[in-house]
Structure 1
Amino acid sequence: MEIRSITSARNEKVKRWRKLGTRKGREEYRSMLVEGEKLLREAMDANLDIRAILISEEGTGVLERFPELGEVPVYCLYPSIFTGLVDTQSPQGIAAEVSIPRHHTPYIPAHRAQVLLLDAIQDPGNLGAILRTAEAAGIRNIWLGTGTVDPYNPKVVRSAMGSLFRARLHQGDLLKVIAELKALGFQVVGTDPRAEQVHFDVPVPERAALLLGNEGRGVSPELQAMTDERLRIPMPGEVESLNVSVTAGILLYEWVRQVRKTEV
Structure 2
Amino acid sequence: MTIKKRISITSPHNEQVKRWKKLNTRKGRAQERALLIEGEHLLLEAARASAQFEAVLVNRDKEEVYQRIKGELPPDAPVYELAPAVFAALVDTETPQGLAAVITAPVWPRDVWLDKDGDLTVLLLDAVQDPGNLGTIIRTAQAAGVDSILLGKGTVDPFNAKVVRSAMGALFRMPLIQIDLAEAIPMLQSRGVTVVNASPHAGTHHFDYAFPARVALLLGNEGRGVDEKYLPLVDADVTIPMPGGTESLNVSITGAILLYERIRQHFQAR
Query: Structure 1-normalised TM-score?
Result: 0.97
1:187-228 deviation per Cα after TM superposition (whole angstroms, max 9, x unaligned) = 100011111111010010121000000000000011111110
- Is contact 1:109–1:184 with CA below 8 Å preserved after alignment? no
Does 2:205 align with 1:198?
Answer: yes
Aligned with residue 146 of structure 2, among 139, 147, 154: 139
1:220 aligns with 2:224: no
Choose which of 8, 12, 27 in structure 2 pairs with 1:9. Answer: 12
| 1:156-179 Cα shifts (integer Å, max 9, x gaps) | 000000011100110110010001
Runs of 4+ residues over 4 Å off in structure 1: none
Task: Determine helix, strand or coil for the equivalent of 1:69.
Answer: coil
- Separation in 2, partners of 1:140, 1:34: 24
Among candidates 44, 49, 55, match of residue 46 of structure 1: 49
Name the stretch that deviates more: 206-215 or 106-115.
Answer: 106-115
| 2:59 match | 56
8 Å CA contact 1:51–1:72 kept in 2: the answer is yes
Q: How far, CA to CA, are the matches of 2:149 and 2:96 in structure 1?
A: 28
Deviates more, 1:13-22 or 1:97-106: 97-106
Per-residue deviation at 1:63? 2.6
1:84 deviation in Å?
A: 1.3
Shift of 1:106: 2.4
Aligned pairs for 1:71-82 (under 5 A) are 71-82=76-87
Shift of 1:91: 3.1
* Worse-matched range after superposition: 83-92 or 123-132: 83-92
Equivalent of residue 247 in structure 1, options 244, 250, 254:
254
Name the count of aligned residue pairs: 263
Deviation, 1:256, is: 0.6
What SS class does the counterpart of residue 57 from structure 2 fall into? strand
Give me the whole-angstrom Cα distance separating, in 1, the residues matched to 2:22 and 2:135.
Answer: 21
Do the aligned partners of 1:132 and 1:164 also contact (CA within 8 Å) in 2? yes
Which whole-Å CA distance do the structure 2 matches of 1:140 and 1:161 have between them? 18
Q: Partners of 1:170 and 1:179 in 2: how far apart?
A: 16
Equivalents in 2 of 1:58, 1:174: separation in Å? 47
The 1-side partners of 2:234 and 2:184 are apart by 12
Q: Is the 8 A contact 2:120 2:147 kept in 1?
A: no
Amino acid at match of 2:83: Y
Identity %: 51
Q: How many angstroms does 1:109 deviate by?
A: 2.6
Write the mapping of 1:18-57 to structure 2, written as runs, cut at 5 A.
18-57=21-60
Q: CA contact under 8 A between 2:61 and 2:84: conserved in structure 1?
A: no
Q: For residue 58 of structure 1, report the CA deviation from its aligned partner.
A: 3.1
CA deviation digits over 1:210-259, x for unaligned, max 9?
00000000000111111100011000012100000111111110011001
CA positional deviation for 1:21 = 0.3
Mapped pair 1:177 → 2:184: yes
**Counterpart-to-counterpart distance in 1, 2:74 and 2:50:** 12
C-alpha deviations, 1:121-142, integer Å up to 9, x for none?
Answer: 0000000000011111110311
Partner SS state of residue 103, structure 1: coil
Match of 1:208 in 2: 215
Q: CA deviation at 1:2?
A: 2.4
User: Does the 8 Å CA contact 1:196/1:231 hold for their aligned counterparts?
Assistant: yes
Q: Which amino acid aligns with 2:70?
A: F
Corresponding residue to 1:233 among 223, 227, 240: 240
